[in-house]
Structure 1
């Protein structure tokens, strides 16, 4: 069994790891640490909660020269909450260092003048921030990034989705060509490729094989609403088993506000987090959530990767996220560090396609329903489909013919259906061969 001792980190890092009870590297850390320590550019694709944060923070903090009063490492994160988490993790790791690495948090919604004053007094050695604020500081020549040795783009796919990649591009263009660049992402979308080609030098692609798309300690429930009111269902679920900390995810700010108001009227002490809440108030709320002053939190996907609080025992999806990948990030807030967790997704009959998309990611559900205020096992929604046999092989383009023939109930209609399937299969094979010749 491997341990962190094999990487020969400085004593202050080993002491910090011992203090937080980190002795054995995760699969992601075992895969990422060797190429990063070797000085290679790395594109890391790993699941949420895999431990990738320490996989890049440890080598960077080991390499920063505290005697040099220059910017040596820059890390971007797509949200204030994620940036604050990274800063907290970095400060935890340098707590035994003397003198300590100077770490600066640069995020939007904070006092810019005070931040500029702090940087002009003395350049930080490690800067962690959101792309917009960092790009602003680089453009105004306040932050001197031309001495940077490490540049990390964390949650790159999220930065792309939120339109921050232009700012990240601007930051990277002000840095020296000889630097180690590390990009981490849950997915590697095609639109990210031009950015990677532009700045990275023969990067090593590290894909950490998923043992399970979501933690095996999570019970992932699909709950049929049967047309009942979502507000009432969620209120009932929050009262079952008294969760230690419950997160309820909704797709829009308006829906978060609606749920928040309803649950408050039911007497629950609930917090809400979404993009329209002023940054200072959001930070205050997040601190109270971390201090366990709230038992219930209603949030948009902004918080799906931003809330990393130990003890989340229940996640409820009021609706499925528009991007199926976000389902993993939502559910991944529970069942961490080997602890048991429950995720419940409310399901309406017309959402069959969305459920199928999520199942296509390798996620399986446990079907349950609410009965007399309790969760009980329900029939698998696929049971009818599984009995349909050959009909499942029929392409959607000929389903009309199938329906028509069945309706007619004329002799030999089954043969006609089989013949149509064969014709359709031949047509597809021809198209595939033609495309192959063109390639």
Structure 2
């Protein structure tokens, strides 16, 4: 097992690591930091929460020359929240540098003109972080000069593709120096992402860091049937009966988010909703209120919430099972963090059986539950009938040889009596046959004499 000391960072990097409380590198850091330090192009496939942000920040911040007035590192993220998290992490490292390292965050929903004015009136940032659209705007205005960048990071590439930002990233990459280090991080590598990777990455090293456990063992997974029940009413009951500290309800579409949040508000609950149609300013305000615990309940879509890191989530409710099962893992991973316990509740209908089976094949074990008399209680396994039928057809192999057919008890001498009765009956039949033969012989004799 490597230690951070084995990476030979500058002293200020170790100070930043110590300040964060990191004691040893994660698996993705252990595998990829040496490659990044060597200047290799890297495709890192790992799940959220694996420590990938510091996987690229630590070695890249270590290489920055603070005496140069130029952009040296460019990092794109698909959401404002993700960009903000990377910016905060980079700023924390920069605080310990003996020379000034300027870190800037360019995202939509902020004052564009103010950012332009600052860029034209002051030095260029050493580290540029932001969403693809706003970074491209700054470049098109000739305010942000990225032609000096030596390192380009595309974080959450699959999410960038899903949210329709790959075109902007493509345009940014096309204006960067030909010979630069490119790092791409993604939870999955969709087929539609491959042309982009082939276009810009020369001989990349690809590392897939497989999660040891699909879902943390601190999370309980409950499964609740919606058959014959009103789904919105069921969600309301779960939120009020279960008494969560902070709960996120996930739905597959913006329309369902609106419907669920509207119903919960009508029942008197204070609910925050997050989806793509919420304005950037409103979304930022809502997120601040959630972090300040002004809201206890959040209803969100997958893409809107994937980049959001909310601390203290005790419950996650899947109002419906997502079509992309990767989103199921992302949803459930919002709770049970940092060794804390959490509860993930999945609602399902009879038509969802195949999806539930696929999730179970990933290694998730569901506990069947239902609401009875205003309490959440254990209920029957949905597969109990199949298991019962199987047990009828198959004898448990551990019982073979132990199970014997029962025999009727026979009274002493009963078998001998039956044998005697059969023997007597046969004797009578033989006597009757002889008599008939003798009578027949006598009749024949009389005929012949006459």
Q: TM-score range by the shorter chain?
A: 0.7 to 0.9
Whole-Å Cα distance in 2 between the matches of residues 142 and 384 of structure 1? 68
Question: Match for residue 42 of structure 1?
Answer: 42
Shift of 1:310: 2.1
Q: Is the Cα contact below 8 Å between 2:163 and 2:303 reproduced in 1?
A: no
Are 1:229 and 2:257 an aligned pair?
no
Over the aligned positions, Cα root-mean-square deviation in angstroms equals 2.0
Q: Distance in 2 between matches of 1:387 and 1:205?
A: 47
| Higher-Rg member (1/2) | 2
* Partner residue, 1:183: 184
Alpha-carbon distance in structure 2 between the residues aligned to 1:165 and 1:14: 35
Compute the displacement of 1:387 (Å): 5.8
- 2:127 match: 126
Q: Is the contact between residue 304 and residue 329 of structure 1 (CA under 8 Å) also seen in structure 2? A: no
Q: Identify if the C-alpha distance between structure 1 residues 374 and 281 changes in structure 2 by more than 3 Å, giving closer, same or farther.
A: same
Counterpart check, 1:249 vs 2:243: no
Which position in structure 2 is the counterpart of 1:401? none
SS of the aligned residue for 1:364 comes to: coil
CA distance in 1, matches of 2:316, 2:200: 38
User: What is the CA–CA distance in structure 2 between the aligned matches of 1:164 and 1:89, rounded to whole Å?
Assistant: 23
TM-score normalised over the length of structure 1: 0.84
Return the offset for 1:203. Answer: 0.9
* Deviation sequence 1:203-252 (CA, Å, 0-9, x none): 11111122111222211222112221122211221224432221111122
1:330-363 deviation digits (Å, cap 9, x = unpaired): 1111111222111111111111233234334443
SS at match of 2:32: helix
Which residue is equivalent to 2:259? 258
Match of 1:378?
379
How far, CA to CA, are the matches of 2:39 and 2:384 in structure 1? 53
- Tell me the equivalent position of 1:33: 33
Give, in whole Å, the separation in 1 of the partners of 2:74 and 2:346.
38
Q: Which residue matches 2:11?
A: 11
In structure 2, distance between residues paired with 1:203 and 1:385: 49
User: Is structure 2 residue 111 aligned with structure 1 residue 89?
Assistant: no
Structure 1 partner of 2:211: 210
Structure 1's unaligned 5+ residue stretches are 390-439
CA distance in 2, matches of 1:361, 1:198: 33
Trace 1:163-178 onto structure 2 (pairs within 5 A): 163-178=164-179
**Equivalent pair of 1:227/1:348 in contact (CA under 8 Å):** no
Aligned-partner Cα distance in 1 for 2:305–2:124: 32
Q: Do the aligned residues in 2 keep the contact of 1:224 with 1:348 (CA within 8 Å)?
A: yes
Partner of 2:447: none
Residue in 1 that maps onto 2:319: 318
Give the Cα–Cα distance (whole angstroms) in 2 for the partners of residues 165 and 29 of structure 1. Answer: 26
Q: Report if aligned partners of 1:138, 1:174 keep a CA contact under 8 Å in 2.
A: no
**Which structure 2 residues correspond to residues 402-413 of structure 1 after superposition, within 5 A?**
none
How do residues 93-108 of structure 1 correspond to structure 2 at under 5 angstroms?
A: 93-108=93-108
Q: 1:281-296, aligned counterparts within 5 Å?
A: 281-296=282-297
CA contact (8 A) 1:307 1:333 kept: no
In 2: Cα distance, 1:302 partner to 1:92 partner: 27
| Contact map agreement 1:147 1:176 (CA 8 A) in 2 | yes
Contact kept? 2:45, 2:185, Cα under 8 Å: yes
Provide the aligned length of Structure 1 versus Structure 2: 390
TM-score, length of structure 2 as denominator length:
0.82
**Cα distance in 2, alignment partners of residues 377 and 84 from structure 1:** 42
SS in 2 for 1:145: coil
Shift of 1:385: 4.0
Q: Deviations over 1:383-422 (max 9, x none)?
A: 4445666xxxxxxxxxxxxxxxxxxxxxxxxxxxxxxxxx
Whether 1:79 and 2:63 are equivalent positions in the alignment is: no
Alpha-carbon contact 1:77-1:129 (below 8 Å) kept: yes
Q: Partner of 1:151: helix, strand, or coil?
A: strand
Aligned to 1:109: 109
* Structure 1 residue aligned with 2:418: none
* Contact 1:213–1:328 under 8 Å retained in 2: yes
